[in-house]
């Protein structure tokens, strides 16, 4: 064995203990470090002789650590970014320590059973008990898997299997949506269906929710089979399509109903907001991100479907050594990956440690903080809210300065990180709350940073 590697093996408890102390300093300091520091990279050559763990940590700490954003902290409100709760981080570490490959039961029986249990818990949490599912790397991949199953269903309507014959055999199909996330276009590109298959359906006036009557008109006039991508939480204004109405429409015009509930699915945890995802259980496929509002470390999401038979047609990998898919297929037959990390373990720890109640509290506190910031910004001169705060995002325009200038000043303050968008043709700023640590004091500090940035 390489002597440096042998020394690390001999010192394994110290290696992990040093990492533990370092990591707990990082996590305890998240509220203090600049939220999104400026970085100048200075790439070095590949080491020939290794320096061991201590040497690597010293190098990392000196050259990289200070540049890392406090994206897991309470005032990073860009995109939709969760943090990582204590049990979730520990679960993630243990996934590394056990280093399982839950691709198939063979050789990893307990790990695959744990993932199955976690998927069942999540299905219950989001009210999609009738669905089966699997862990994937993020909502983009979850949308990809859902739309891959949709593609197979579209083929089924025409009496063919796209998995066998390819998309060339499919003919004209359409993907209808009111305000699809960019990842839907990316997924359609990867699926060979093409970004151009998206047919945008008008949304309700001043809203991002699809106009159900307009959708009905498109469905009534469409020639071929259709998939509908419904939104349960758009990124700009967290608007929700009327899922119940879509389900009723599907009774008259059969279509595949995929719901992108990347973070909006968490509305199911709150009594006040659960009605927003009423009907989710009837969807044919559902996407939910976990590295956002479940606050597990990147990367983690889950995909759900009621048509696992079609999913297996698309993703089966029937090598002799892997075994054929059964009616309870191994994960190797369900997603693009063969070998895969036990991502479920971090989520399992989070759910076991904090339960439905703990996660409900995080969701409700984030909503309360979004409302708080929204109320403060509504009273702030030079600021205009572009939508009511429906759940956990505040979307606002600034009048006296450019959006880019305001965002740069907020970032330079070190107190907050927000991201830009364009909503209704207007440049705007989003503040998205999905971190388990955010308190009213944090929200006040974010507001103060915005006010200061507006003053120039
Ligand atoms: C974040 C998000 C995605 C993409 O998620 P990734 O985890 O970044 O792949 C898709 N849809 C919605 C609505 C999202 O919020």
Residue 265 in any domain: the answer is yes
Q: Which atom in ligand 1 lies closest to the alpha carbon of residue 234?
A: 13
Same domain, 331 and 413: no
Residue 444 in any domain: the answer is yes
Give the end of a domain, one of 340, 370, 392. Answer: 340
Same domain, 271 and 391: no
- Residue 172: its pLDDT value, please? 92
Using CA atoms, how far apart are residues 392 and 30, in angstroms rounded to an integer? 21
Q: How far is the CA of 235 from the centre of ligand 1 (A)?
A: 8
Q: How far is the CA of 234 from the centre of ligand 1 (A)?
A: 10
Residue 79 in any domain: the answer is yes
Q: How far is the CA of 138 from the centre of ligand 1 (A)?
A: 7
Q: Which atom in ligand 1 lies closest to the alpha carbon of residue 264?
A: 13
Same domain, 173 and 258: yes
Using CA atoms, how far apart are residues 350 and 290, in angstroms rounded to an integer? 11
Residue 13 in any domain: the answer is no
- pTM assigned to the model: 0.98
Give the model confidence (pLDDT) of 170-210 as tens digits.
999 999 999 999 999 999 999 999 999 999 999 999 999 99
Same domain, 157 and 54: no
Same domain, 358 and 334: no
Judge contact between 310 and 318, C-beta under 8 A. no
DSSP assignment of 216-273:
HHHHHH--S-EEEEEEBS-TTT--B--HHHHHHHHHHS--EEEEE-TTGGGGGG-TTT
Paired with 383 in beta bridges are: 398
Give the end of a domain, one of 340, 367, 387. Answer: 340
Percent of the chain with pLDDT over 70: 100
Same domain, 168 and 264: yes
Instruction: Identify the three-state secondary structure at position 177.
Output: strand
Provide the domain limits for residue 394: 30-85+354-456
Residue 325 in any domain: the answer is yes
Ligand 1 interacting residues, C-beta cut-off 6 A = 80, 138-140, 181, 183, 233, 235, 260, 262-263, 289, 301
CATH number at residue 56: 3.90.1150.170
Same domain, 304 and 431: no
Q: How many domains does the chain have?
A: 2
Q: Give mean pLDDT, residues 338-353.
A: 98
Give the model confidence (pLDDT) of 379-430 as tens digits.
999 999 999 999 999 999 999 899 999 999 999 999 999 999 999 999 999 9
pLDDT at 31 over 80: yes
Mutate to test the pocket of ligand 1, among 141, 143, 183 (most ligand atoms within 8 A of CB): 183
Residue 415 in any domain: the answer is yes
Pick 332 or 325 by higher pLDDT: 332
Same domain, 171 and 123: yes
Give the end of a domain, one of 308, 340, 372. Answer: 340
DSSP assignment of 113-170:
HHHHHHHHHHHHHTT-TT-EEEEESSHHHHHHHHHHHHHHHHHHHTT--HHHH-GGGT
pLDDT at 44 over 90: yes
Same domain, 332 and 371: no
Q: Which atom in ligand 1 lies closest to the alpha carbon of residue 142?
A: 9
Confidence band for 126, pLDDT divided at 50, 70 and 90 = very high
- Residue 161: its pLDDT value, please? 98
- Residue 111: its pLDDT value, please? 98
Same domain, 81 and 146: no
Q: Which atom in ligand 1 lies closest to the alpha carbon of residue 289?
A: 7
Same domain, 115 and 252: yes
Residue 21 in any domain: the answer is no
CATH number at residue 158: 3.40.640.10
Mean pLDDT across the chain, nearest whole number?
97
Same domain, 336 and 359: no
């Amino acid at each position: 064995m390489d002597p440096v590697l042998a020394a690390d093996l001999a010192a394994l408890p110290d290696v992990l203990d040093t990492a533990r102390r370092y990591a707990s300093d990082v996590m305890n300091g998240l509220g203090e470090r600049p939220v999104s520091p400026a970085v100048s990279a200075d790439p070095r050559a590949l080491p020939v002789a290794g320096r061991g763990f201590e040497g690597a940590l010293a190098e990392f700490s000196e050259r990289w650590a200070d540049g890392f954003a406090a994206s897991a902290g309470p005032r990073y409100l860009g995109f939709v970014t969760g943090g990582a709760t204590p049990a979730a981080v520990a679960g993630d570490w243990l996934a590394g320590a056990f280093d399982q490959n839950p691709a198939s039961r063979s050789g990893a029986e307990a790990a695959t059973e744990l993932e199955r249990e976690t998927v069942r818990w999540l299905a219950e949490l989001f009210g999609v008990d009738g669905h089966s599912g699997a862990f994937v790397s993020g909502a983009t991949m979850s949308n990809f898997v859902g739309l891959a199953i949709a593609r197979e269903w579209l083929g089924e309507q025409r009496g063919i299997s796209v998995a066998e014959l390819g998309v060339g055999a499919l003919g004209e199909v359409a993907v209808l949506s009111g305000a699809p996330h960019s990842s839907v276009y990316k997924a359609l590109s990867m699926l060979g269906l093409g970004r151009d298959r998206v047919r945008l359906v008008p949304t309700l006036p001043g809203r991002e929710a699809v106009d159900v009557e307009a959708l009905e008109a498109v469905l009534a006039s469409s020639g071929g089979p259709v998939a509908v991508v419904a939104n349960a939480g758009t990124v700009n204004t967290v608007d929700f399509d009327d899922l119940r109405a879509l389900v009723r429409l599907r009774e008259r015009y059969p279509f595949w109903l995929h719901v992108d509930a990347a973070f909006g699915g968490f509305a199911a945890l709150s009594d006040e907001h659960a009605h927003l995802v009423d009907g989710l259980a009837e969807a044919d496929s559902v996407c939910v991100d976990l590295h956002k509002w479940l606050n597990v470390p990147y990367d983690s999401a889950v995909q759900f479907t009621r048509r696992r038979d079609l999913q297996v047609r698309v993703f089966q990998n029937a090598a002799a050594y892997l075994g054929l898919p059964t009616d309870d297929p191994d994960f190797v037959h369900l997603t693009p990956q063969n070998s895969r990390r036990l991502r479920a373990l971090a989520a399992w720890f989070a759910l076991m440690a904090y339960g439905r109640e703990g996660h409900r509290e995080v969701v409700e506190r984030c909503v309360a903080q979004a409302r708080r910031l929204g109320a403060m910004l509504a009273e702030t001169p030079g600021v205009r809210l572009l939508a009511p705060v429906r759940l956990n995002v505040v979307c606002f325009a600034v009048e006296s300065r450019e959006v880019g200038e305001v965002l740069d000043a907020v970032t330079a303050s070190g107190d907050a990180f927000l991201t830009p968008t364009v909503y209704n043709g207007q440049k705007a700023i989003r503040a998205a709350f999905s971190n388990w640590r955010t308190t009213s004091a944090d929200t006040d500090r974010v507001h103060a940073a915005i006010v200061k940035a507006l003053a120039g």
